[in-house]
């Protein structure tokens, strides 16, 4: 079946603009995660959804970042008033839920803020 | 502090050779340890997941080991191929509340396999 799909694959935006990044998880996966990966760096946790609720938002770096999930499916990560330090690859992952289940990652959205 | 440290940071080997990547962690309480492979420009792909009671797990030419006493893991790649060139990421999950949101990621080891 289809894997995790993210769109757009690349996004170039001007400093100060808002951007929306989309994630379509694997159908039936209840857990959904967003991560940020700066160039040459490891993955940085942003937010975790179980169903449509987000029990862990502790990784969101500022109030400019927000995310929602609807229908226990699609998730959108929104960055308001983008800054150059927001430039990174934003990765989404989903899993079937049990703690030992593997994460299935999308290929990410590469965001460049000019 | 919950941390995952990987070594070496980067590694170059010749095609056909074996190699071993290391992961040390201080995450507690421990739930499981995962190895992921990340090709350039792609998302990570799961290789293995090991719980406390497992000390070895294989996936084709990849074999992961876990020593929960010393909090060390290794990933051994046998008979390397050019397609093994990638970043290998060690990830440790904490046990407890059931909230799996916080997986602790290592910085990765970048492996380059040369012909």
- Is the preceding omega at residue A8 within 30 degrees of 0, hence cis? yes
Taking an 8 Å cut-off on Cβ atoms, the answer to whether A91 and B46 are in contact is no
Half-sphere exposure of B12 (CA within 13 A, CB side): 2
User: Which residue is closest to A48 within chain B, CA to CA?
Assistant: B101
| Cα–Cα distance measured from residue B87 to residue A36, given in angstroms and rounded to the nearest whole number | 16
d(CA A24, CA A4): 6
Across the range B53-75, mean pLDDT stands at 96
Q: What is the chain A residue with the closest CA to B39?
A: A107
Say if residue A111's pLDDT is above 80: yes
Q: Tell me if B1 sits within 8 A of B47, measured CB to CB.
A: no
Question: B103–A45: do the CB atoms touch at under 8 Å?
Answer: yes
pLDDT tens digits for range A4-38: 999 999 999 999 999 999 999 999 999 999 999 99
């Amino acid at each position: 079946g289809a894997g995790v799909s993210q769109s757009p694959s690349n996004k170039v935006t001007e400093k100060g603009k808002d951007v929306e990044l989309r994630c379509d998880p694997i159908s039936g996966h209840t857990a959904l995660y967003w991560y940020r990966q700066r160039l040459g760096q490891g993955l940085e946790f942003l937010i975790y959804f179980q169903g449509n609720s987000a029990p862990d938002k502790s990784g969101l770096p500022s109030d400019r970042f927000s995310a929602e999930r609807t229908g226990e499916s699609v998730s959108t990560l929104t960055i308001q008033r983008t800054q150059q330090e927001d430039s990174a690859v934003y990765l989404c992952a989903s899993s079937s839920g049990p703690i030992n289940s593997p994460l299935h990652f999308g290929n990410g959205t590469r965001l460049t803020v000019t | 502090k919950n941390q995952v440290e990987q070594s070496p940071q980067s590694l170059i080997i010749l095609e056909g050779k074996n190699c071993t990547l290391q992961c040390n962690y201080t995450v507690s309480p421990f739930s499981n340890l995962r190895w992921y492979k990340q090709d350039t420009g792609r998302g990570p792909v799961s290789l293995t997941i090991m719980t406390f009671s497992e000390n070895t797990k294989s996936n084709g030419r990849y074999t992961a080991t876990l020593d929960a006493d010393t909090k060390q893991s290794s990933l051994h790649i046998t008979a390397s191929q050019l397609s093994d060139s990638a970043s290998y990421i060690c990830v440790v999950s904490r046990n407890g509340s059931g909230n799996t949101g916080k997986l602790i990621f290592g910085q990765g080891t970048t492996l380059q396999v040369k012909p």
